[in-house]
Structure 1
Amino acid sequence: MKTHSKKQGLLWFIALLLLFIAVSYFAYQPKPEIYPSYVTVSPSPTGVKALYTYLKKEKEVKSWIHSPDLLPKEKHNQLLVMVGPAFTPEKKWMQQYINFMEAGNTILLMQTNPKGMFNIETDYIQRGSSQSDKWTKVKDENGKTYRAEVDSDIRIRTVKNDDILLSDQSGAIAAKRAYGKGQLIMAITPQWMTNEKLLKKDHLPLSFLLLKQGKADSILFDEYIHGGENESSILTVYPKWFLVLILQGILLVVLWLWYKGKRFGPLLSPREEWVRYSDEKIQAIAAWYLRGRRYQDSLRVQADYVKLLLQEQWQIPYSKDWQDLSPYFERKWLKMPANEIQTFLGGIAAILNQDKINQQEYLLWSRKLEELRNEVES
């Protein structure tokens, strides 16, 4: 009977375990893969997979994942599409892109603000009430009007011999510039080519208008500009001599601070000093006495305080003069001989009666009063 119940319990356990596994399997939903914006393999709204897939059916189209120095410059009539670069390549790579164009090829740069790439200059615009509409009227070089979304507050600043391909009432949206045997097509609307907005309004024909400018036999989509590992670092952006100069400057500043500073780290004061002079008012008064060389006033205050202690601890009347305290001291201050007590009391009485004392006298009698205070408080 016990064996049967054990088997039955084991079967129930296995059944529940299988049920749990089945529910977990069907209920599990893997997280969607996160893609960078404007990459050709991305099916997300910000990717360009739809346009890339369509073009691949029409002509020779590939994605380019290598550095620009490996671009095939021996071929002509190639179009390199740079959609929404994630970073601005360093100077040596920008020169490789220029060499690629001068060899007879075309680069289509789609960047919201292309300033800093290929010596492109831009202007900021202020959107008026007429530009608050989501869709903007865009004209091509022949005067044909399109409806498109232009989110950028940037317009391309054209130079002599530039051809304006697309524009609105605020300025140039796309332009063409010659580089040797090739050319650069620059536009500020990379969102036109994304999966989400490619088929909205006239984004598709406008994208084809830009792609056809180069009359290319083959198209390369630059994926190198979307890799975070390819981004320029501080070691590559600035020249080596400048970095060495900065490092030397930092070391010199540290050494200068070390030379000028008296110490590094916390300032540890003796506990007695901290306890006695923790009050800022006391510190201010002491500093005032020292700066004004009011040694006599300071010594009288100290002596008056000791007399108060003598009345509290040794029951010596406060009204008594210092030279009249000898009998009391001889009974209380047992460590001090009688003749030294009389000398001490006579000296303190004489110094307090003077109108002015110097620093040495002040330090001597202040130390003796401090010894008396310690004896009274002990």
Structure 2
Amino acid sequence: MKTNNNRKIWLFGLFFIIILIIITIFVAPNNNKLNRGSTYNRNPDGYGAWYAYMEKKGTPIKRWQKPLEILSNKESITLLQIYPNNLPSALINKQKDWLKKGNKLIILGVKKSVTEANFTTLHDYKLGQIKIETKRRNKEENDTILGDKFGAIIWQEKIGKGQIIASVTPDLAANAYQDNPGNYEFLAKLVTETGNPIYVDEYLHGYKDKEVIEKEVGGNIFSYFAKTPILPIFIQVLVIIIVLIWDKNNRFGQIIKLVKPSINNSSIYIKALAGVLEKAESSDFVISTINLEEQKQLQKLLGLNDKSLNSERLIEAWGQQTGQPIKELKSIVKVAEKKSKINDASLKKWLEKWQEIREKINN
């Protein structure tokens, strides 16, 4: 039984580990990448600390959790997009019509070529040095805001009444740079210098307003989970529930058949005989039989197995070994020798005295 239980535990553990590995390989990495740059993310690659920094400064900033098509109706705003994966620069052209209306777009994480620049570089800024960790640079001719001899790190372009600012690094003011105030203040300057209302694109990271979710998936919550970072947690909880249900139904291991209780014929016979003797009022026979058996057991306890002793010799041997008065044992044996009938209460008391005799030997 114990072996089967151990086998069941090992099967549970192995099954659960396999499921977690599958989730980690195929689901978790994608969602972790999607969450990179989100203001909801408290990990080193998130922007939760910078968002809190802006709120502490008293700068109005809102999270945008709707499709950009809806945002296209708004004019004279600043939109910050932090791409979890490097954005091909060709995709920026899609926003040009919206930018011409006087809007400002700041994109962190535009894919450019790798150069010979050091991975970590420091750049002077009036409110503290700006720390950059990437070898990518924009070598094209542009209006550079921040750069070095290898090319632009952050650059800008005027488009009609609007403006676009792009950065090769998505981690300009990530949580990992909380000890670099220059990074936080530099990004704050970029988003506030025009005085427009500021929005941070969280729809990009899979976060959506309630009405958007209902419209997209028709109230199907599982479809929503499949598109958000909540999916790994949801799947793990579901797996745990399934395993627990499976365990309660005992589906692992071989089926254990119920064993029929064995019939104790000796016990049945003794009980039947006792009933007959009680009805026949044969207490004298019961006492005589028990007395003989008790004397045999007493003789064994005294270590006299190889000798056949009569009642008197047994009583004397008991007195010598225990140091107890022999009249106590004599009175018990005498009840059996009289062969007279006694009531149930007296019979019970007589049996208790035999028990006391045995206990005195054990003590």
The TM-score, its normalising length taken from structure 2, stands at 0.42
The TM-score, its normalising length taken from structure 1, stands at 0.41
